[in-house]
Amino acid sequence: MAEQTELNMGVADQSRISMAESTDNTPSNSNDLSIETWKFEQEVCRRALVEMIILDELPFSFVEKEGFKKFMSKVQPLLHIPSRRTITRDCYELYGELRINLKQSLREIQPRICLTIDTWTSVQRINYMCLTAHFIDRDWVLHKRILNLCPIISHKGEHLAESISNCLLDWKLDNVFTVTVDNASSNDVIVLELSKKLDMWGTNLMEGKHLHVRCMAHILNLIVQDGLKEIGPSIKKVRQMVKYVRSSSSRARNFLKCVKMQKIECDKMLSLDVPTRWNSTYLMLDTTKKFEKAFERFDLYDGNFNSFLATDVCEDGNICELDAYLKLCIASDDLDLSKMASGMKEKFKKYWGTPEKMNKMIFIASFLDPRNKSVYVSFALEELLGEETGNVVNTKVESYLRDLFAIYYEKGSKSQPSSSDSSDSSGSGISQNMSKNSFRAKLHMKKQKNDSGSLGVKSELDKYLFEDQEPESEDFDILINSPRFPVLSQLARDVLAIPMSSVASECVFSTGGRILDPFRSSLTPKCVQCLICVQDWLRQETKPICAEESPRVKTMKK
């Protein structure tokens, strides 16, 4: 037995030849393989096993299942399969390791963080708060990282703000740019209290005027749901039709015969909606409308089908496009449609109809698109608010952009060493190539001196705004102007990272619902946070955070 153990240990220490798929980018057969050496390592295999448990949301007891053990005995008998308790400890160790690495990366890049926040109640009746960070690194790659999924004892705004502050302090992140939340009243308190904290930390940019970002997806859902109430009976009839056809395979076959009879060409099939999600209701109505003629003939194959249900489909099929055509629908000759659109317009005004309630970052992001700039924003505001009010708001937005740019310019000036404080081999802070030409060097120094004046602060921004708009193109590169506008590109990097909805945090709860189900409900909050955060971080490893400025700006299509 001892000899066999020694033999196994000797075999494990040996390198083997393995066949791996070719990694070059040249066109080749998908079956092309390359030869490389491979050595069995217990720790590496165990790490891969832990990652599989987390990524695939498997129970810890999976490693003790008979089928898994039998499978591994055939695939790799040298692997010592750990117990569920060992796997649990390994998960915590992996969480600690990845958390330290992420902290280090954030400390090196020091980005302005855009947060999304949402709350969730698990099957255990435990309340959780999810805190997600969004930022663009120095290589212009957008990142999303779940920071915390921590239990909370109250949904009150003050308590949630305190929990968020503690999380940020733990991560050593105080440079918060925006906070995206839904429209719950407690979130207003959260943002207000968090703004006070940032004031204390000295990192509250522009006094927190643009800190609060309302979730656009949530607002849009409220607007559309308000309109759907007006035609609730019609939607209910359509839903009953779809349920009836989908409730048995025989009915579905008969319905397909009707489709063929009416020569309806459609790749989609009937879909049932989730009543609380307006977009799924729209998909249901849009698809059902395409099969209107099939429903008209369906009673020939099914005598129990109530054919009058189909009469409302054609008339009401476009109701979920009202978010884009409110004004058009209000002017419609269809009185019912006009009434419904008017109600939706009132809901729209509640959140976006008053300029004072609008976050200026929404428009500044468009200013920073070289295809839009001030021409597009000015026109959009006139259409939305009227010419007089639109011009006033446009002036305020541009003024806000200039104030924000001045802060970035001042920060950039402080971070750059002056010519008297820094020296290189040429004895000057100017680049080596420029120092070779004394005339160019003097010109550069004079330009820097002029730029430090009152007009110089805005020179880079003015140059950008006064240039013509970039033409629309499929291969448009938004970073093409980055080297020409270094300060403005830093501002754009922070603004373009702002998430316009809190969906990122809500998606976490879907994962939590799978990890914590009625058959797997004994996990502690600490363990739940560990599993969800590590899963998120492992999936983001394909996009490592760049902490240094790239010598060559990579292309990023918009």
Per-residue confidence of the chain (558 residues) as pLDDT tens digits?
444 444 455 555 555 555 555 444 444 454 556 667 777 888 999 999 999 999 998 999 999 999 999 999 998 888 899 999 999 999 999 999 999 999 999 999 888 999 999 888 887 888 899 999 999 988 888 999 999 998 988 888 899 999 999 999 999 999 999 999 888 888 899 999 999 999 999 999 998 999 998 887 777 777 777 767 766 777 777 888 888 888 788 888 888 888 888 778 777 778 787 776 667 777 888 888 888 887 777 767 766 665 434 333 333 333 233 333 466 667 766 676 677 777 777 777 776 667 777 788 888 888 888 888 888 888 878 877 788 888 888 899 899 999 999 998 888 766 554 443 443 433 334 344 444 456 555 555 555 555 544 444 457 888 888 888 888 777 777 776 677 888 888 898 999 898 888 777 777 777 777 777 776 667 888 998 999 999 999 988 777 777 665 544 443 333
pLDDT value for 327 = 66
Domain boundary among 338, 358, 374: 338
- In this structure, are 230 and 267 located in the same domain? yes
For the record, the structure tokens of 164 come out as 């968020």
**Are 228 and 208 in the same domain?**
no
Cβ burial of 381 (10 Å; 0-12, 13-18, 19+) is buried
What the block records as the tokens of 155 is 């949904």
Integer Cα distance of 406 and 469 in angstroms = 23
Residue 45: inside a domain: no
The pLDDT value recorded for residue 64 is 92
Distance CA 216, CA 220 (A): 6
Residue 458 lies in a domain: no
d(CA 195, CA 528): 29
Q: Name 461's Cβ contacts closer than 8 Å, sequence gap at least 6.
A: 401, 402, 405, 488
**Whether 241 and 200 share a structural domain:** no
Burial class (CB in 10 A: 0-12, 13-18, 19+), 473: exposed
Whether the CB-CB separation of 459 and 336 falls below 8 Å is answered with no
Instruction: Supply the pLDDT for residue 459.
Output: 76
CA distances from 218 to 133, 277, 278, 506 (A): 19, 10, 11, 11
Kindly state whether residues 135 and 153 are assigned to the same domain: yes
Residues 290 and 226 in one domain: yes
Q: What's the structural domain count of the chain?
A: 2
Q: What angle do CA 545, 549, 551 make, to 5 degrees?
A: 120
Residue 436 lies in a domain: no
Instruction: Of 43, 73, 68, 42, give the one whose Cα is nearest residue 53.
Output: 68
Helix (H) or strand (E) holding 84: helix 84-109
Final residue belonging to a domain, choices 338, 370, 389 = 338
Residues 120 and 209 both lie in one domain: yes
301 in a domain, yes or no? yes
What's the domain range around 197?
A: 111-215+500-539
In this predicted structure, what is the pLDDT of residue 105?
92
| Nearest CA-CA partner of 288 in 276, 301, 270 | 270
* pTM of full prediction above 0.85: no
CATH number of the domain at 119, please.
3.30.420
Does one domain contain both 211 and 285? no
Closest CA to 78 of 138, 26, 4: 4
Instruction: Note whether residue 437 is domain-resident.
Output: no
Neighbours of 86 (CB within 10 A): 15
Residue 15 lies in a domain: no
Contacts of 372 (CB under 8 A, 6+ apart): 366, 469
Q: Return the SS3 of 115.
A: strand
SS (H, E, C) 500-532: CCCHHHHHHHHHHHHHCECCECCCCHHHHHHHH
Look at residue 352 in the predicted model and tell me its pLDDT: 66
Q: Which residues of 32-46 are buried (b: 16+ CB within 10 A; e: fewer)?
A: eeeeeeeeeeeeebb
Quick check: is 557 in a domain? no
86: left (phi over 0), alpha (psi -120 to 50) or beta: alpha
Q: Which residues pair with 115 in a beta bridge?
A: 133, 179
How many angstroms separate the CA atoms of 127 and 160, rounded? 11
| pLDDT for the residue 230 | 66
Asked whether residue 168 falls in the same domain as residue 271, the answer is no
Q: How far is CA 508 from CA 50, 51, 122, 146, in A?
A: 20, 18, 12, 8
Exposure string of 219-229, with b = 16+ CB inside 10 Å and e = fewer, is: bbbbbbbbbbe
| CA pair distance 299, 179, nearest whole angstrom | 54
CA-nearest of 311, 332, 329 to 319 is: 329
DSSP run (H or E) holding 230: none
In-domain check, residue 49 = no
